[in-house]
A = this chain, B = another copy of it.
Amino acid sequence: MEYNEAYSRYVGMIEETIGTLLPQTAVECPADGEIPAYLCETMRYSLLAGGKRVRPVLLLAACEMLGGALEQARVPAAALEMIHTYSLIHDDLPGMDDDDYRRGRLTNHKVYGVGHAILAGDGLLNYAYECLMKNALAYPQNLMGHVRAADVIARRAGVSGMIAGQSIDLLSEHMEPEAQRLCYIHAHKTADLLTAPLLAAGCIAGADGAQMEALSRFGACVGLAFQIDDDLLDVEGDAQEMGKQTGMDAQRGKMTWPALFGVAQSRARSQELWSQAEDALGSFGERAWFLHAFAETLRNRKK
């Protein structure tokens, strides 16, 4: 199957699953088990804002590569996108990055107000785990695999993962750039949530230790390279093409790779990491064709 076709198929599964888990509704104070209309709208606004679905696609692709049941991976993939989306909503809030635009649209709190944006984020985070639990119970023959997947996601998204990275990032604004601190931020704020779908797929598909190790290395390299490229795009990118303002990192006094190591060395490090990511897939042979192509696409992105 051709890459674009496979990608569209994964995205189609993800959009359909999200639509099923979070359907549009008009009932203000609904019956038990349903989501109130306004809360649902605030969550859908950001979840359906047209992201690239990088994390859920990684989950589905890794699951298929490992011979796992794609049907069992749909909800975990959607849950991961919910977690990613909640982190963006909260990151954009006043007190955090205080952004007015995201992906070329007004940020959640600019449309619904700060209070409802906080709840939209909380709602997406909590609903991710609610969906993971419901999905685990729907596949009792693979219950252990699903609980391990949820455990991996919680750890990588959490207080020793993404949230840890966000916290150190926020603490480090206007500090003198420093390598150890910057590595910590990139590893946790970005790479952990790219490794999570790969490892979750491994848990669901019953991967062995060596496979988990390879997936973990691939995720870490892709994550760090992705973030260095992001820092570079903020320095060099075109605001209109990116759908957000560029040069913001410097303006905010954010620690970035180019600020610490310079543009040339950052480019070299990124190239090296993308190569290491390719190498990490070696043991999967031909079956890793999609992940290879996916990494290549991320590497060549302009926004």
Contact = CB atoms under 8 A, between A and B. Distances in A.
A69 interface: no
Query: Would you call the interface of chain A mostly helix, strand, loop, or mixed?
Result: helix
A115 B137 contact: no
Contact of A115 (B33, B36, B95, B121): B95
A150 interface: yes
Interface in A36-95: 36, 38-40, 42-43, 86-87, 90, 93-95
6 A-B pairs with the lowest CB-CB distances in the bound complex, closest first: A95-B114, A130-B154, A133-B151, A39-B167, A126-B158, A29-B184
21 contacts: A29-B181, A33-B155, A36-B168, A38-B171, A39-B159, A43-B159, A86-B122, A93-B114, A93-B115, A119-B170, A125-B126, A126-B154, A126-B157, A126-B163, A127-B158, A127-B159, A133-B150, A134-B151, A137-B147, A137-B148, A137-B151
Contacts of A160: 30, 32-35
Nearest to A192: B32
Interface residues of A, number: 63
Interface of A: 28-30, 32-36, 38-40, 42-43, 86-87, 90, 93-96, 109, 113-119, 121-123, 125-127, 129-130, 133-134, 136-137, 140, 143-144, 147-148, 150-151, 154-155, 157-160, 163-164, 166-168, 170-171, 180-181, 184
